[in-house]
C-alpha cells in the first residue's frame, strides 16, 4: 500500500501513572481500514523522534503478503504502549510514509495521588452548641 495513506479513525492517547505517581504508561489506540485478507498494520515508534520531546511520533506500517488474497475491507484496531514518566507527552502524531495523518492530544486522567494533592476547601467546623447558662438561685437571707 504505497502512496496514499489508509483511512483511520478513533485515535486516542492516554498517559497514566500508578496510584503512587510512578510507573507511567502511554497508550495509543485507533483503527485503520485495511483492504485485502493478507494486509496487516502496526504502530512503531519513529526513528529518530522529532525535536519536541513532548510530541511522540508513531509510524503506521501497513504490509501486504504477496499472492492471491480476498479484497475484503475491514477496520482493524491498533494499539501501542510504552513506559513514560506519567506527564511526559502532550501529543502523539501518527505518520504514514513520513506524513502526519493524525494528531492526537494526550489525555492525563486524574489518579488517586493527583486527587489527594488538591486540597479541597476546608468546611467550617461545627461549633458545639452552647449550653444555656444555669441560673443561680438567689439565696434567701
CB 69 within 8 A of CB 76: no
Instruction: Provide the phi-psi class of 10: left if phi over 0, else alpha when psi is between -120 and 50, else beta.
Output: left
| Domain spans of the chain, in order of start | 8-107
pLDDT one-digit tens code per residue, 90-134:
999 999 999 999 999 999 887 544 444 444 555 555 655 666 666
pTM: 0.71
Task: Kindly provide the residue ranges of all beta strands, DSSP E only, lying in 54-135, ordered along the sequence.
Answer: 55-64, 73-84, 91-96, 99-107
The confidence band for 80, taking pLDDT boundaries of 50, 70 and 90, is very high
| Choice among 54-68, 75-89, 99-113, 118-132 with the minimum mean pLDDT | 118-132
Amino acid at each position: 500500500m504505497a502512496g496514499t495513506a489508509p483511512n483511520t479513525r478513533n485515535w486516542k492517547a492516554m498517559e497514566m501513572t500508578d496510584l503512587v505517581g510512578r510507573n507511567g504508561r502511554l497508550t495509543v489506540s485507533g483503527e485503520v481500514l485495511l483492504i485485502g485478507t493478507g494486509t496487516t498494520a502496526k504502530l512503531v515508534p519513529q526513528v529518530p523522534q522529532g525535536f519536541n520531546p513532548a510530541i511522540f511520533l508513531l509510524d503506521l506500517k501497513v504490509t501486504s503478503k504477496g499472492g492471491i488474497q480476498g479484497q475484503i475491507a475491514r477496520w482493524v484496531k491498533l494499539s501501542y504502549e510504552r513506559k513514560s514518566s506519567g506527564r511526559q507527552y502532550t501529543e502523539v502524531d501518527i505518520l504514514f510514509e513520513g506524513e502526519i495523518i493524525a494528531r492526537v492530544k494526550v489525555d492525563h486522567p486524574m489518579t488517586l495521588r493527583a486527587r489527594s494533592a488538591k486540597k479541597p476547601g476546608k468546611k467550617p467546623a461545627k461549633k458545639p452548641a452552647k449550653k444555656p447558662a444555669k441560673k443561680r438561685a438567689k439565696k434567701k437571707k
